[in-house]
Amino acid sequence: MKKFTRRQFIQTSTAAGVGVLGAPAILNAANKGDKLRVAFIGTGGINRRHITDTLDHGDICGAYCDVDSSRYTNIHEGIDGLEKSGNSWMAKQWKAAKPFQDYREMFDKAANSF
Instruction: Answer positive or negative: Cα dihedral of 35, 38, 44, 47.
Output: negative
27 CB neighbour count, 10 Å cutoff: 7
Domains, the chain, in order of start with CATH, read: 37-113 (3.40.50.720)
Return the pLDDT at 105.
93
Cβ atoms 114, 62 nearer than 8 A: yes
Return the pLDDT at 5.
83
Return the pLDDT at 22.
56
* Amino acid letter, residue 33: G
pTM comes to 0.60
Backbone angles phi, psi at 38, to 5 degrees: -130, 165
First and final C-alpha spacing in the chain? 57
pLDDT in tens, the chain (114 residues): 577 787 777 777 676 665 555 555 555 556 666 778 888 888 877 877 787 788 777 788 888 888 887 877 777 777 777 778 888 877 888 888 888 889 899 999 988 877
